Amino acid sequence: METKSGSFFRFEKIYRQFDTNRYLEESAEVEAGSILIVTGPSGSGKSTLLKILARLMKPDSGEVYWHDKNWLAYSPVQWRSEIQFVSQKPIIFPGSIKENLMLPFSLKNNKGKKVNTELILYYMDKTGLPSQMLSQEAKTLSGGEAARVALIRALITEPDILLLDEPTAFLDNETRIITLETIDEWVKEQNRAAIIVSHQEEDLKHLNYQEILHCPIRKAV
């Protein structure tokens, strides 16, 4: 199936049957410079949708297009280099915060990308993390600090699209607003895009988003 001309990122009838009688079936599009908010009750498949779009999980059927090309035209390595998933529960590795932030640059899918120290310091400052923390052991981070480090780790690799699963779940109100504004700025800066799963209606006030995709709980008849 051909995608329409000029499409930045879109997915069509992504279908996934769950172990129970529930299933996911969603379609949407996000343009460069925009944010798509994915909402819906627990169990509707929002996180599953993000993992499918990140090619961490296979759908039963459906198609995804990026820059007018079917996702199968890209290798998984190419895809994950430019379309990055950040899970709701921050993934932190042994070692210092600096080592955690530099880790993606040692991976195959980021081969050729270079560490930009100024960018690391910029996003730490933007999200309220002092630069002195770089030498701190990552295991000492609070949940909110770990969430911001995981986000920065994705931002500094400068992907085309971020897939964020509840990025404000561990944040207090002030930090939540700062983080959302940072994501919004990142999207607008280079005409990138983000797809964000959120349960928080308050989040929408701090994001310039293209549209909301509501995922209901779908049950097989």
Residue type, 97: I
Residue 55, SS3? coil
What is the layout of strands, in order, in the sheet containing 61-66? 69-70, 61-66, 9-17, 22-30, 218-219
The answer as to whether 209 is a domain residue is: yes
Distance CA 213, CA 36 (A): 7
Domain of residue 136, CATH code: 3.40.50.300
Which domain does 66 fall in, by range? 9-216
**pTM across the whole model:** 0.92
Q: In percent, how much of the chain has pLDDT > 90? A: 76
Q: Please count the structural domains in the chain.
A: 1
In the predicted structure, residue 113 carries a pLDDT above the cut 60: yes
Interior/surface letters 122-150, b for 16+ CB within 10 angstroms, e for the rest: ebbebbebeeebbeeebeebeebbbbbbb
pLDDT of residue 203: 86
The answer as to whether 187 is a domain residue is: yes
Distance CA 139, CA 136 (A): 9
The answer as to whether 198 is a domain residue is: yes
pLDDT of residue 6: 60
